[in-house]
Structure formats: structure tokens, C-alpha cells
Structure 1
């Protein structure tokens, strides 16, 4: 059975997997992942229930915070990495004559 991953943002840092399991219970959650100290998580639901799950749970309150639920965006492929700082020129200047 195909599933879709939903992004759940604005989570309280005290939110638990069980909180999300309760919120999404009517939509047969397959897997739930909370990203610890980041304030968001992901819930996998059957693909045919994803749109209804988003509509029913977006802006619902979990531990005192209105959560933001949307279809998760795929992570960009490739390294990415952080860009370097600006160049400050050569490290050593030639000695003057």
C-alpha cells in the first residue's frame, strides 16, 4: 500500500509520538517520527487518506500549540553543504623589497 509523508510543524518540544498517533488515529498512521529539538515531525499515512488527514489536522492544537500539517517536500538530492565565507585574499603577502 502506497503512503504519503506529511510534515507536522510548530510542535511543542514536549510533544510525543503518542500525541501524533492520537491526532492522526482516524487516518491509519503507518509511521511517526518526531525530530527531537527541532519542533517538527513526520507522519506517514495511506496515500488515499493524505488530503483528508491534512484538512482535518492542520491547525489542531497539540500540547497547547496549533500544528501546521502539509505534504512533506522531498529532501534535495546531492550534498548541498554550507557555502564558504568570502575570500579574504592571499594568506601571505610578498615581502616588500
Structure 2
């Protein structure tokens, strides 16, 4: 399981996040997603720690804490949902309604 960390400053690095969570135990992995087109941070990340007890301690201490001028949102990450493609529902799809005059 991993921890979701939201409302991050866009200047946060993986090392910054690792250092904050290291106070609560061993950090196994840090991931900061970026926008595909711009390669800019998306303002949230994921942290994986060695034990559930370490994760729980970090969540309890850091959820709602102010860090780098922002109030953090920290909780257990939810499993990623499968995204199914829908016909014509995205950009470029022909889902216009016919108008009758």
C-alpha cells in the first residue's frame, strides 16, 4: 500500500518528500507524477514506506500540516481504477447531436 500526498507545492522534489516522510520510518519509494505535455509536477505524489505502522504514523502527523506554504492532504492511496475507452467520448469523437430545423 502507499500514501497519497496532495496539495504539494510545484517546487517539491522527490528528495524533499523523502526527507519529510523519513522522520516516520523507512521510505521505500517516492513518486511525483508530471504532466505529459509540459513535464511539470501535478501537485500530488505517492510515498511507499516499509510498514503499515510507519505509514499510519506519517498520515496521522502530516495530514493537514502546513509545509512549504500549503496544507497537506495525506491519506492511504486508493487503488487505481481501470479506465475503459469509450467510443466517441473524448477529444475528436463525433458525438454531436443532429439538429433539425
Structure number with higher helix proportion: 1
Residue 59 of structure 1 pairs with residue 57 of structure 2: no
| SS state at 2:32 partner | strand
**How does 1:1-80 map onto structure 2 within 5 Å?**
4-26=1-23, 27-36=25-34, 37-45=41-49, 46-79=51-84
Q: Could you tell me which runs of 5 or more consecutive residues in structure 2 were left unpaired when the two chains were aligned.
A: 35-40
Q: Matched residue pairs, number?
A: 88
**Structure 2 equivalent of residue 88 of structure 1:** 97
TM-score computed with the length of structure 1 as normaliser? 0.75
- In structure 2, how many angstroms separate the alpha carbons of the residues matched to 1:23 and 1:89? 56
What is the root-mean-square deviation of aligned Cα atoms in Å?
2.5
- In structure 2, how many angstroms separate the alpha carbons of the residues matched to 1:82 and 1:17? 37
List 4+ stretches of structure 1 deviating above 3 A.
80-83
TM-score computed with the length of structure 2 as normaliser? 0.72
- Closer/same/farther in 2, CA of residues 40 and 86 from structure 1, 3 Å limit: same
Structure number with higher strand proportion: 1
Which structure is larger by alpha-carbon Rg, 1 or 2? Answer: 1
